[in-house]
Chains A and B, each alone.
Chain A
Amino acid sequence: MKNKRIQSLLVVLIALGLIVAGCGGAGGDKKPAAADNKAPIKIGFFAPVTGPAAADGDSVTKAAKLAVEKINKDGGINGRKVELVAYDDNLKPQEAVSIAQKLTTKDGVVAAVSGSYSHTTRAAAPIFENAKIPMIAAYALHPDITKGGDYVFRQSFVGTAQGKAGGYVAVDMLKAKTIAILNVDNDFGTTLADSFTQYVESKGAKVVSRDKFTMVEKEFNPVLTKIKQLKPDLIYMPTYSGTGAQIARQAKELNLGIQMLGTEGIDSTMEFLKVSGPTADGIIITTNLNRNSKLKATQDFIKDYTAMAGHAPDMVAASTYDCFMVLAESMRKNGAEPDKIKDGIYKIKDFEAATGLIKGYNKLGEVTKNVQVQVIKNGAFTYYGEISDPAIITPPDK
């Protein structure tokens, strides 16, 4: 009897193990591409298609497909087609590591794009570095990601730059003197809140409170009630759309009447704007997608993405799309081998992309471009300002 019990327990465990293992890879066995000139060029990609960030995973996967389609429609890379090798990392670092290993050893990709968050991208970055395969992080913002070596690049602002830009908006543009911070408790929220604090305090403003929460939190009434008593001029909230939408709604219900400043984390048309509805009006964010930009690359991207997805794009989609465009630009000009792609990215100057004019990449692989400030007006992200001050937007190079 007891044996039978253990047996059945084992069977269940093995079955579960198989299920978990099965979830890992959607790619299957892929042999490295032959080095002939007709074979498609493979670009690796990973994103949190399942798990708590599945909405972002969905956005970036659509953007990656759109980008590859566009590159191929424009003639591919000097006649060769580009092929996407995409995986789901479930927002788990261990998954990201095994995906990076698969991409660099089995799949024969010449470059890769991370459409995932900071902690997963950080785990995967050293593997690409060691394999000498260039990787661009689309929107992960932790400073350590690019520090491993020169094969790892970043397409959006490093957290320290965006935090500083947030500080600039708060004290220089909005003249806030007292500020409350509400940040999601992970790499993203902590990096932004820390560099924001550093900047605003250096300008003489005061951070009166700092509260943190997990990315699945929904109940902000206790902490907003507390903040209401402190009467700050501004609330800075580096967090994502799910939590950000609840902060917006509950602040409105509590009649808070305090200006709120968000980040690219709530730059989400589906999740943030729809759930928060009219309560989001007036919230200002720092991001890299300027919806009112005159750049053709931006307007084309917004049009194509909307036609494909049935809704307007968010910044994670735009950043991911740009990674592929940068890779394509580098490959067209410099060749489609990993080393040449890497060198080509460093040579890029003043490249028109969906997220604005890319001035170039520094020796760490950090991008330099203007920070966009958008305000939510009548349920849509709209131009509020643009930060081009080199003191704010220049990323660190060590």
Chain B
Amino acid sequence: MFFQQIVNGIVVGSVYALTAMGATLVYGIMRILDISNAGAYALGAYISFFFLLQTGNPLVAVVMGVALTAVFGFIVQKFLYAPLMDKSPNVALIAGIGLFIFLQDFLRLVGGPQARELNFGAMLPSVRLPGLGLTLYGTWFLILGATAVLLLVLWYLLNRSTVGLAWRATAQDLETAKAMGINTNRVVAFNFILGYGFAAVAGILVGILYNSIYPMMGDVPAYKMLAVIVLGGLGNPLGTVLAALVIGMAETLIGGYVGFFLPRDAIAFVVLILILLWRPQGLLGRRRVS
């Protein structure tokens, strides 16, 4: 039972890490809490579902879901956030919420209100290890594998590439980076493309894991990812991964040993509050010097 719960916790945490990563990237550079990223999460899953129905090919479905959602991220940045850059961050926040609500209702009108099956998990059989009392879902390997690979790629991009250098410079100080000759517009655009691509991957994987996608599927991620981002230290990708694992593990272990005496999300937020009381700057955030 203990091992099973640990694995459960890691899977839940990985899902949170993937889900929150898109919004973390956007926050890291733009200092905007981009709620519409949770809309992109649902959009990616639906595009993928559409292509799965049309072509029957899972690979095409995933690639198209991620690519088109990334393009959507570029459009959102160019036509929604870029014009609002010199306004107060509240304006961008509200615009993002508006876009999120629009996307949910758009998906409901186009795809219908019912949950649909994103059924390519059936081909991944579960692995049972009775000695350890462990059941490993086939889809878990997919989730864990994808999370690990994507996070490594992201780490490489941010820390070992020129793009990453420009990115970090822009995140630290956009004006100075611009003065140093960095094409910050391009950095910001790339940031959104990657952030929305991540959201799509998360949406598709969660859709496969639970064999269901529905218009409101971004609802829980919309607030859960905020918790993860805040706990991780606002815009710090490594912090986001750590925070996601902490929240996923806490929910699972408390739920598994004490029971769901409160709904799971409520348990997560109690944990969030306790940790923030201890570390107001988040797990890996830097304390701001005034």
Q: Give A residues with C-beta under 8 Å from B.
A: 5, 8-9, 12-13, 16, 19, 49-52, 54-55, 57-58, 185, 209-214, 216-219, 221-223, 225-226, 228-229, 241-242, 245-246, 249, 253-255, 270-271, 274-275, 277
- Say yes or no: B114 contacts A5, CB within 8 Å: no
- Say yes or no: A8 contacts B137, CB within 8 Å: no
- Say yes or no: A213 contacts B263, CB within 8 Å: yes
B148 is an interface residue with CB less than 8 A from chain A: no
Chain A interface, >50% SS class: helix
Interface stretch of the complex, out of B65-73, B215-223, B229-237: B215-223
Q: Which of B112, B255, B260 contacts A58 (CB 8 A)?
A: B112
Minimum CB–CB distance from A226 to chain B (whole Å) comes to 5
Q: Which of A16, A210, A271 contacts B98 (CB 8 A)?
A: A16
- Say yes or no: A225 contacts B216, CB within 8 Å: no
Minimum CB–CB distance from B105 to chain A (whole Å) comes to 7
Q: Which of B5, B88, B116, B215 contacts A5 (CB 8 A)?
A: B88
| A54 to B216 alpha-carbon distance, docked (Å) | 9
B8 is an interface residue with CB less than 8 A from chain A: yes
Q: Which of A9, A51, A242 contacts B90 (CB 8 A)?
A: A9
| A254 to B256 alpha-carbon distance, docked (Å) | 14
Query: Knowing A5-B87, A16-B94 touch, does A211 contact B260 (C-beta < 8 A)?
Result: yes
Minimum CB–CB distance from A270 to chain B (whole Å) comes to 5
Query: Knowing A55-B114, A211-B260, A212-B263 touch, does A253 contact B212 (C-beta < 8 A)?
Result: no
Minimum CB–CB distance from A48 to chain B (whole Å) comes to 9
Q: Give B residues with C-beta under 8 Å from A.
A: 1, 4-5, 8-9, 11-12, 87-88, 90-91, 94-95, 98, 101, 105, 108, 112-117, 119, 126, 128, 135, 137, 206, 210-212, 214-216, 219-220, 251-253, 255-257, 259-265
Which residues of chain A are within 8 angstroms of B5 by Cβ–Cβ distance?
222, 225
Which residues of chain B are within 8 angstroms of A5 by Cβ–Cβ distance?
87-88, 91
Which residues of chain A are within 8 angstroms of B210 by Cβ–Cβ distance?
218, 246, 249
- Say yes or no: B94 contacts A223, CB within 8 Å: no
- Say yes or no: A50 contacts B91, CB within 8 Å: no
Q: List the A residue with the shortest CB-CB distance to B87.
A: A8
- Say yes or no: A58 contacts B91, CB within 8 Å: no
- Say yes or no: B114 contacts A216, CB within 8 Å: no
What 6 A-B pairs come out closest when comparing CB atoms? A54-B113, A211-B260, A222-B256, A222-B255, A214-B263, A55-B114
Which residues of chain B are within 8 angstroms of A8 by Cβ–Cβ distance?
87-88, 91
- Since A50-B105, A50-B108 are in contact, a sample of 6 more A-B pairs with Cβ atoms closer than 8 Å, ordered by chain A residue number, is A57-B113, A185-B263, A217-B265, A222-B8, A222-B253, A249-B210
Q: Which of A218, A221, A241, A254 has the most CB of B within 10 A?
A: A221
